[in-house]
Every structure is written in structure tokens, then in C-alpha cells.
Amino acid sequence: MTASAPAAHLAQLNVATLRHPLDDPRTTPFTEMLAPVNAAADGTPGFVWRLVEEGTGDATGLRPAGEDVIVNLSVWESREALWDFTYRSGHLGVLRRRREWFHRHIEAHLVLWWIPAGQLPTVGEALERLAHLRAHGPSPRAFTFASFRTAAEAAPSSRPEPAAGAAAVQTG
């Protein structure tokens, strides 16, 4: 029996509110870690994709969630691949120092959801998933590591919600 490609990939968004601008010397240790940590992510088994601003190596210049909020949006083959990168690699050192550079979040700042393999999430979809998690708590549509759902459990919720006021269209 041969292994088949996964039918779904795990998307993740996390947001962080800066204590100081990225060009502030107090944020320099963080910005100096970006390239090596992103290179490590890119080379991690199970990594699929990450949001990168055109002409740069990262997404720190994109501010879709607010002027002082940076976003990290990526796609992974599995929970294990994302977990291993997040908590069992050099990325953990950045996590341990995050309070130096970012404010503590009162509400959810990380959201996970399943997407069809071969598709990429949009920033708008990612922010909608985070808003859903904040408004409704963990569900098959938007969850965290602590409230994890398998791709099978999330299957009915893997499609983006229609825009407000959009009519549902049935085919076939």
C-alpha cells in the first residue's frame, strides 16, 4: 500500500501586538531572529507555505489586523509538523522571549483550521477564522492546539463562510 497525499492541510494564523515599532532598537533582537526562524520553518518537514510580503522575506510589513499588529499565516501538512516546529525547534527560543516584544493578548491570538490540500488561505479568511474563534470559542471551524479538531471532525466547517448577505447557491 502506498501513502497518498493528505486531503487537507492545517492552516494557522497568529497575531502579535508590538510593544515598540519594528525599527525600534528594543525590537532589534526579534527582527534579527526573523530570517533564521523563517528559514528553519521553510525547511521543516511538513511545512507547506507561509505568507510573505512581496519583495521581502517575511510578512511583518503587512498590517491587516492593525498598525501595531503583525500576522503570521502558514500552512502545514499536519498538527505534528506545526507542533514540532513551534515547540521543538529554534522557534521555541523566540516564543520564550515574546513578552519582550509583544503585549500579552487578552483574547485568542492563534487559530487553526483545515483547508483542502493544494489551496492557500487568504488573510481575510484567516482573520475571519480568528474572529469566529473569539466570538464563539473553539469549534470544528476554528480551534487551537488545546481544542484541536481532526480534519475529519472539521470537514463540514472547512469551507469559508459566505460573505454577510450573500445568498447560498445550490448546484446540481
Tell me, rounded to whole angstroms, the distance of Cα 7 from its chain centroid: 19
Q: What is the pLDDT of residue 96?
A: 83
Residues of the chain with pLDDT under 70: 1-5, 156-172
Q: What is the largest CA-CA distance in the chain?
A: 59
Q: For the chain, what is the radius of gyration of the CA atoms?
A: 17
- Residue boundaries of the structural domains of the chain: 8-157
How many CB atoms neighbour CB 134 within 10 A?
Answer: 13
**Phi, psi values for residue 4, rounded to 5°:** -100, 160
Residue 115: exposed, middle, or buried by beta-carbon count in 10 A (0-12, 13-18, 19+)?
Answer: buried
Q: What is the pLDDT of residue 28?
A: 94
Q: What is the pLDDT of residue 90?
A: 77
Find the Cα–Cα–Cα–Cα dihedral 82, 87, 92, 95, rounded to 10°: 80
Q: What is the pLDDT of residue 91?
A: 83
Query: Can you give the pTM of this predicted structure?
Result: 0.85
Digit-coded pLDDT (tens) for 24-56: 999 999 999 999 999 999 999 999 999 999 989
User: Which CATH architecture fits 8-157?
Assistant: 2-Layer Sandwich (3.30)
